[in-house]
Amino acid sequence: MSVDTLAPLAIPSEPTSQPKLSEILRLGSMTTQQTFNVLYNGADDSYCALGTIYHMAGWDARNELGDFNNLVGTRVWCCPDWLYAALIQPTKDCTRHDDMHYAGEYQTTALGLVVHLNDHHKMPRNEIAQELEARGL
């Protein structure tokens, strides 16, 4: 089986042992292409870091969104409770501020960190996974 044909993780809606966000993202970064500023880009079948986490946990943006550009008013927040709880975990702010735009505005949650590192710093998803792992997520 090639990497291109790997399916999303078969994670139960409420697993007894919650997988770490870093593990989910690391696996997803090996099986999908990365995009920025959107959860899913239908033009090249790619996912941002947050979209990758959702995709690997079984929520498929391809079926829900198509080419998606706006989080407001969508089902993106309707994920399993265990995943939502993991994404809203408080975490330390990004230490990579290279401009003042994000100073004081950045949300210190795992979700905010993932989106910020993907869209602002354009970090590869495996490096975002390393950041999450270093924070115990």
The pLDDT of residue 133: 95
Q: Considering Cα of 120, then 112, then 56, then 68, what sign does the dihedral take?
A: negative
103 band by pLDDT with thresholds 50, 70 and 90: very low
Res 89: pLDDT: 86
DSSP secondary structure string for all residues of 77-132: G---HHHHHHHT-B-PPPS---SSSSTTT---BHHHHHHHHHHTS---HHHHHHHH
Each domain of the chain, given as residue ranges in start order, spans 18-134
pLDDT of residue 27: 95
pLDDT-derived band of residue 8, with 50, 70 and 90 as boundaries? low
Task: Kindly state the helix (H) or strand (E) to which residue 47 belongs, with its residue range.
Answer: strand 46-47
pLDDT in tens, 42-55: 888 899 999 999 88
The rounded Cα 20 to chain-centroid distance in angstroms is: 12
Q: Which tens digits make up the pLDDT trace of 57-96? A: 887 666 665 444 444 444 445 677 888 888 888 887 776 6
40-41 sheet: strands from edge to edge: 33-34, 46-47, 40-41
